[in-house]
Each structure stands twice: as C-alpha cells, then as structure tokens.
Amino acid sequence: MEDIKRYLAEIGRRGGTKSRRTLDRATARDMVRVREARRAFRRFRTSCFWSYRADLVITLADIAWVADQLMKHGNREAWRVGTRLCR
C-alpha cells in the first residue's frame, strides 16, 4: 500500500512540473478575454447571434465584433458584458 502511495505521489509530482507553463501577462489577459467572449456568444446566442452558426469559433480577432453585437442587439446585461469585453 505504501509503495502505491509513493508511486502515485511521484507521478503527480512529475506531471505537475511538466504541465506548468509560464505566460506573460498580455497572453494570459488575451486568453481570459477570448474565454469570456466565447461564454458571451453561447449565453446570448438566441438574442444577439441567432443568425450565426452555433459552432462558430470565437478567436482573439473576434472579440471586438462580439462586444459590438452584444451592445447593438442585446439587453442591459448583454450591454454590460460587451463593455467588459472592450476593456
């Protein structure tokens, strides 16, 4: 039993050190913005993005477009999310 614990601890330690990556602040911030834009696209799909494919892939270049569509066609909550994406 102790051997198994030691083995699993070693695997976990090695996996944790290999999978860690360092990102600069700008890249990390962009990743968060893309994630938020994708979340907004799914959340407001029926009210703001109904004419676009449901499986549309939102990238960093699409963030301004998503924010614009949210602020043009959405309700107050969509407007708030759109302004947050513009930052």
SS3 assignment for 4-41: HHHHHHHHHHHHHHHHCCCCCHHHHHHHHHHHHHHHHH
Q: What is the pLDDT of residues 21-56, one digit of tens each?
A: 678 899 999 999 999 999 999 999 999 999 999 999
Surface-to-core class of residue 43, CB atoms within 10 Å of its CB (0-12 exposed, 13-18 middle, 19+ buried): middle
pLDDT for res 14: 67
**Where are the chain's structural domains?**
25-86
Q: What is the pLDDT of residues 52-84, one digit of tens each?
A: 999 999 999 999 999 999 999 999 999 999 999
Q: How many helices (H) and strands (E) does the chain have?
A: 5, 0
